[in-house]
Homo-oligomer: A and B are copies of this chain.
Amino acid sequence: MYDVFQQYLDNKISLSDAQKERIRSLGVIKKLRKKQYLLQEGDIWKYDAFVVKGCVRNYSVDEKGNEHIIGFSIENWWAGDRESLLSGAPSRFNIDAIEDSAIVLFTHENFELICQEIPPFKDMVNSILQASFIASQNRIQVSLSNTAEEKYLAFLKKYPGFVNRIPQSMIASYLGMTPETLSRIRTQTIRK
């Protein structure tokens, strides 16, 4: 399980065996069954988490009880609530597993330790953050400029692996439309 994370690291930075061992010793594997929460609204998030297997979603629930999906994390992506982590405030989000999943969990303290001890690790983290910010800005741009259909097509293009894995209703939520609308778009698009 852990070797998925190890391979990810190997792809990004070079580490000595001692460093690899150090990182490994500070992380813990957490398994999640489908629908199990990793984080519930109101909890304080204190970790850095890397998905090694499966898929989790990050979502908020509004007053009407509707869920709005902020993001998905599949294997080789990070997950968590940076806002709660940074501010120490209770999270406004939920994270749960869409499939049976496995996560490498670091307490934020341990994670900071690693960052201090291994500068290239810290640099990696920062460049991930850069990329995440850019992706987030792009998502905003797409959502401002496009119709429901265009948003769906852009999603397909950007995350081709997600469509056959994530329930359609969740993709609809991620795209800011109802499941009915997405369903109609799909049948129309196929017929074109």
Contacts and interface: CB of A to CB of B under 8 A. Distances in A.
A17 B132 CA distance: 35
Interface string A20-55: 000000000000000000000000000000000000
A86 B134 contact: yes
A126 interface: yes
Given A82-B134, A86-B134, A140-B136, A68 B129 contact: no
A83 B129 CA distance: 12
Contacts of A86: 130-131, 134
Main secondary structure of the interface of A (DSSP, over half): helix
Interface of A: 60, 62, 66, 68-71, 82-83, 86, 92, 126, 129-134, 136-141, 143-145, 173, 176
A82 B69 CA distance: 25
Contact of A70 (B71, B126, B133, B140): B140
Given A68-B145, A82-B130, A140 B139 contact: yes
Nearest to A131: B86
